[in-house]
Amino acid sequence: MNGALRVFAVCGFIVVLLAACSKTDGPPVSAEKASADAAFQKKLQEQLLDAKPGTVIEIPAGTYHLTSGLSLRADGVTIRGAGMEQTILSFKGQVTGPEGMLVYGNGFTIENLTIEDSKGDGLKINDGDTITIRKVKVQWTGGPKVTNGAYGIYPVKTKNVLIEDSVAIGASDAGIYVGQSNGVIVRRSRAEGNVAGIEIENTVNADVYDNVATNNTGGILVFNMPNLSQPGHSTRVYKNKVDKNNLGNFAARGTAVASVPAGSGIVINSNSKVEIFDNDVTDNQTANVIISSYHSTGYYTEKGVAANYDPYPKAIYVYGNRFKGGGDSPDGLDLKALKIAMYGLGGHFPDVIWDGYVDTKLLVKGALPPEQRICVQKDAEVLNADGPGKYKNPSKDAAPFRCELAKLPPVTITQLAAQS
């Protein structure tokens, strides 16, 4: 994962062996097409290896079957296809390389193409500043499977990230994921058929807006996980459509998202300074919004949890959303039993569920300081599920949540600041 992928699979050059190596599910590729794809792959990887600041790599329309992952280690490079539906890089026959495309570089732009059926993550960008992902689709075409790659669009440890007008389908972890980053905008994109549709994890200063998250296990997630390079805070989730995220969870066992219940609309876990407003959140069968702590995830790490890790959600502000349906068929025996006990067979959970875990060391007269509270305005009822008490004493009292918090400022990133 840390080295440039310079090795080309034998399958890419010996046409006689290509059919045996490629493991494609579709019709066999002709010898002529296989030879053309091998030549294309060789040329494209050479372009990536030779790229310098200012290089623009144009990929013409066509579907190209690749057997090796691609890698780029250079700053200031643009990769441009002829259109999301016109330029398709298929990795269904991938033999070498853990990702479809792996990028280390600043000032990187990729646009107007599709990456599909990679062996591992679709598009991974590591340690870059000023990253633009525009009109890119990453998908797995065989439906939801645990063997699909974990992440679709995957910037990690990056700064100034713009993801726009893009699509992610079928990831076994997160379709659009930004982790351990600072300064992020995800907008006008669609996530469908993933475990997590859009996930912001351990990231500072993120705006997620004008997106559609539908038919995922969880629609939009804002998480803080332990033992990573930084804690996250200051995320705004607004003007999104988060609808019918009821897909059965197909994540690998032991991963953090394996604990996300099917039917989760927007999920905040262990994060702070999160604002959720002006969204249409509808028909998510466990709950339209879930606010929880690390203690509810069931996620286990052999390393243990770092002493400075804060597992509790704080300064969460939910207001001005439009909720409809949902909460009628929660996932998991505990939640099903809780729903029936409180609301009956034909009832449903309220739009916001809080697991009830709180940092008792911070309580003053039984309440968190005003700037750290969970505030939900009157557009939604709230259930305190009493996770610490194993759901034995849940509360429907919304009064503790009727408060206001200072609103977060818009996120400004390099790409957009240059246009203003």
Q: pLDDT per residue over 24-48, tens digit each?
A: 455 666 788 889 999 999 999 999 9
Work out the pLDDT band at 7, boundaries 50, 70, 90: very low
Tokens of 128: 């870059």
Q: Which amino acid is at 102?
A: L
What is the rounded CA–CA span in Å between residue 225 and residue 310? 9
What are 201's strand-pairing partners?
Answer: 179, 223
Residues for the chain: how many in total? 420
What is the rounded CA–CA span in Å between residue 196 and residue 170? 10
Buried b (16+ CB within 10 A) or exposed e, 154-188: bbbbbbbbbbbbbbbbbbbbbbbbbbbbbbbbbbb
The closest of 257, 267, 243, 132 to 192, measured between CA atoms, is 243
112 within 8 A of 84, measured Cβ to Cβ: yes
SS3 state at 342: helix
153 within 8 A of 166, measured Cβ to Cβ: yes
User: What pLDDT sits at residue 20?
Assistant: 31
Average pLDDT over residues 75-95: 97
**Helices and strands (DSSP H and E) totals, the chain:** 4, 30
Give the start-to-end residue ranges of the domains of the chain. 120-419
Average pLDDT over residues 386-400: 94
Q: What is the CA radius of gyration of the chain?
A: 22
Angle at which helix 31-50 crosses helix 15-22, to 10 degrees, equals 90
What is the rounded CA–CA span in Å between residue 285 and residue 140? 25
The percentage of the chain sitting over the pLDDT mark of 70, rounded to a whole number, equals: 93
Quick check: 4 pLDDT over 50? no
Tokens of 210: 């004008």
What is the rounded CA–CA span in Å between residue 118 and residue 108? 21
Buried b (16+ CB within 10 A) or exposed e, 369-396: eeebbbbbbeebbbbbbbbbeebeebee
Cβ-proximal residues to 8 (8 Å cutoff; 6+ apart), any chain: 41, 42, 45, 68, 96
User: What pLDDT sits at residue 11?
Assistant: 32
User: What pLDDT sits at residue 13?
Assistant: 29
**pTM score of the predicted model:** 0.92
User: What pLDDT sits at residue 22?
Assistant: 36
Quick check: 6 pLDDT over 90? no
The dihedrals phi and psi of 22, each to the nearest 5 degrees, come to -80, -25
User: What pLDDT sits at residue 274?
Assistant: 98
313 within 8 A of 221, measured Cβ to Cβ: no
